[in-house]
A and B are shown apart, each in its own frame.
Chain A
Amino acid sequence: MRVLLVEDTQPLMRAYRQGLEEEGFAVDVATDGEEADVKARTTQYDVVILDIMLPKIDGLTLLKKWRTDGIKTHVLMLTARGTTTDKVAGLDIGADDYLTKPVDLDELFARVRALVRRGHQQKDPVLRCYDMDIDTAARTVRRAGQQIHLTPREYALLEFLAFHRGKVVTRSMIWEHLYDEYDENTSNVVDVYIRYLRNKIDKGFDPPLILTRWGEGYMLRGDDDPPAPPAGKKG
């Protein structure tokens, strides 16, 4: 999941970025309002973490502009201003959540995850697909009651597919949501990770859950997909 972190305090920004990245988020960073505006308009972020006291354009103005222009990205206000008035103002302008610095990192991550789920109309923190359970809170995956260990990136990919279960996800979509601005876009990096994931999830299990749509992308098997995959389609 890709997150835009807008924070002008350098040490804080570094810390949050590191934490988010270690949680498996792809993190883009903006240190002032203008930069944040440009990034939010050009990239489809799952969540924007927005400070209020920002150089050039402050957070509230920025958010107002976004909402006016129809940008529906989930925004989590994260600011040192903690009064009720400030919170109400922020939420009323169109923020989806509001947190006051200093914030517990776990809470921050949980809220970000909740916002991600909300973005996919998913209330249950556990995503289910046939005999596979993806616990988005604990970031664990089980198939047929068996724990499967995934790297953060593999997990992020699986989670992304799960959120779009039964729908085709293009490679660029995957790239957009799983990699930050600093990652180098090599042609087959997505395919490589799909292969890793298949090895861990589908190998030894039936039916295979990750489907390949030639020329389009990948998808996680939905409930109405044919139970038996067509032979030879395995990529």
Chain B
Amino acid sequence: MRSIRRSLLSYFLVLLAVALGLIAAFVDRYAVGAVEAREESESNRITAAFDTRRVEAQTKFDAELVQEARSLAGELNRSFFKTWGRFRPPDPPRGGGKGPADPKSAPEPKTSIEPRPSFPGKAPEDDGREYLRRVTALMLQPPAAGNWLPVAQAASATHRAWSPGWISFASPRTAARVQIPEMLHRMFEEGGDHTGYYQFHVVAAYPGRPWQSIGTVRPARLVNDLPLDLGRVEDSDLEFLPPEEVRVEGQGTFRRALVWTSVTPQGSRPLAVPVWHENQSYSAGPGLRATQYFYSPIGPSSRAFRPDFMIRVFVHAARPQSELDSRLTHAAAERDEEIQRVHSESREELTKLRTRLAAIAAGSFLALVVGGWLIVARGLAPVRTLSDAVSRVSEKDFALPVAVTDLSVELAPIHARITQTLDQLRGAFAREKEAVADISHELRTPIASLLATIDVSLRKPRTPDQYRTTLQDCRGIAKQLGQLVERIMTLASLDAGTARGAVCRVDAAELAGTCAVVIRPLAEAHGMTFTLSAVGPAELDSDADRLREVLMNLLHNAVEYNRPNGRVELAVRPDAGRVVFEVRDTGIGMSDAVRAKIFDRFFRADASRTATGVHAGLGLAIVKEYVQRLGGTIEVESTPGEGSLFRVSFPAAAAQTESPFPPADAA
């Protein structure tokens, strides 16, 4: 059996749990969103701050690199100039000199600082000059496919700094010894604690050829060359590429600043090695502008004297990327720590929020379990009241000891129904009680008579006549008793619905005739007249035995309740599809109050009749039951003191046979 209270509460709680869950989910989601957004913005701020620092550090790092490269390049330029300074470019040919192939680029360098060298006949004094002279001699050979240096050879021609403070270049056509500034010495030392790298590229362009690396100098620590993409550099006096990352095979990532310089004497012109050419034009390599310089021919030849090639030195200043990174390591760690802190704070905050949410949900759930239990109990109080009231209903009064106003509206129909049922039950019980009392009374009286008669008779010896009288009395009483029991049984079987009769076509007039045969002598014995009138053919489908019993009952009553010298009439007639039997008497009649109850069981208008007849107030009850079961109706008209009329009507048989019926009339 389920408890309303428990099930209501559980529904309530399920609903509540769902609602709480939804609310919690929404709150959680929004909170998570907000916290995460804050965390992200915080992280972004931290990252941005770090990036700023990183950019600053890198800028500084790069600036240092550029600075180093520049100073190195400047130094290099000076050294070159020192070395090659004597090679003053020859003055342009005067007067009848042939114009250059390209007249546009034929500026006349007017500012000659040093006198023209006594080239080629003069020998230099110092070894550098000597070296250069030899190199120059080599260079003076016109470039040809045979003496052009391939890249591989250029790589092999790379020289290391051979002594502290000096680097030297050597190539088939040029060599230079450059004093390294003091500040940079250690960069080239082996086993130093410095981290920077420097590399020098000497690049030359021959007339008609692209720029070509002709020699590199790199520190010992550097296993491979830092790459140089000539395509990217511009032809300018002192230019630089912004610091960038480069990868070196086997060496890791470096940050490199690239600065280059054209080796120019007096900072005015790039160093050009004059080479004898005839009407030969320069072709610049891709991305390189070649400035053409024209010189007057040296010596007796009047041919144009042009620079054979131009030298440009590229200075790489590089430091491992890791150095920059290590400078930033601390900042990065700080950043990571900061981000981690923000993250953990967010987690913590979320956890706290969720704990609080769970606590609120659990608290409200608990409160509502208790509250709901009480509220449901309160809501169910009327049901309890009703149930208590129902349990207190006793069979004494069958009253529901609670007013409908004390209950809720919803229970009013139940209350009404229970009250109604109880009323019916009370009625039924009362009837039952009454019936039992009636039956027992009806049975007791004859039994008491029987016993008393026998007892009296047995009290002393009697004559045979006296015994005979006693026995006759007893027989009469027993007969009455038997009839009574018979009637009670009839009613009981009618109530149980077990009594079923056979329906057949019945001729009403004939049936009335058979009743008349029995009743007429009885009526005459009581000094009454009996009349039977049957009008027209009347047939019906019914149970003849029961129908006869109905009529006999009514006729017996008519005789019994009649006055002396009265009349009893039985009339049969068809009436609008029905067959009507009328039993009329001239007896005592009955009042309306009596008439209303006349078909009730054990009802007797006059109790005295029990003494005279077999009727215990059951006759008319049985008549009514029979009539109803046979589908008919019964009605009574009566005037007190004048007589009564019982009218019983049944549906006529479907097909009336047109047999003329002679009215059986007797007085």
Contacts and interface: CB of A to CB of B under 8 A. Distances in A.
Contacts of B473: 11, 14-15
Name the interface size band of chain A: 20 to 34
A53 to B, nearest CB: 5
B456 A15 contact: yes
Contacts of B608: 8, 31-32, 54-56
B640 to A, nearest CB: 15
Interface stretch (A99-107, A123-131, A134-142, A219-227): A99-107
**Among B447, B448, B457, residue most surrounded by chain A Cβ atoms (within 10 Å):** B448
Nearest to A58: B607
Interface stretch (B176-184, B436-444, B506-514): B436-444
B449 interface: yes
A19 B456 contact: yes
Contacts of B444: 80, 82, 100-102
Given A9-B610, A55-B606, A15 B440 contact: no
**Among A8, A12, A31, A100, residue most surrounded by chain B Cβ atoms (within 10 Å):** A12
Interface in A1-31: 8-12, 14-16, 18-19, 22, 31
A12 B607 contact: no
B460 interface: yes
A83 interface: yes
A81 interface: yes
Contact of A8 (B440, B459, B476, B610): B610
A12 B457 CA distance: 12
Interface string B422-443: 0000000000000001001110
A53 B448 contact: no
Contacts of B437: 81, 83
A53 B607 contact: yes
Given A11-B476, A31-B611, A55-B606, A80 B448 contact: yes
B417 to A, nearest CB: 31
Name the interface size band of chain B: 20 to 34
A104 B458 CA distance: 13
Interface in A97-122: 100-105
Contact of B607 (A8, A22, A105): A8
A101 B456 CA distance: 15
A12 B449 contact: yes
Nearest to A103: B448
Contacts of A18: 456
Contacts of A102: 444, 447-448, 450-452
B321 interface: no
B490 interface: no
B449 A9 contact: yes
B456 A12 contact: no
A53 B452 CA distance: 18
B448 A101 contact: yes
A100 B609 CA distance: 21
Interface of B: 437, 440-442, 444-453, 455-457, 459-460, 473, 476-477, 606-612
24 contacts: A9-B446, A10-B612, A11-B449, A11-B477, A12-B445, A12-B449, A12-B452, A12-B453, A15-B449, A15-B453, A15-B455, A31-B608, A32-B608, A54-B608, A55-B606, A55-B607, A55-B611, A56-B608, A80-B442, A81-B441, A101-B445, A102-B450, A105-B456, A105-B459
Q: What are the 10 tightest A-B residue pairs by CB atom distance, in nearest-first order?
A: A55-B608, A101-B448, A102-B448, A15-B452, A80-B444, A12-B449, A11-B449, A15-B453, A19-B456, A80-B441
Given A11-B453, A105-B455, 11 more contacts: A10-B611, A12-B445, A15-B452, A15-B473, A16-B456, A31-B608, A53-B441, A53-B610, A55-B608, A81-B437, A103-B448
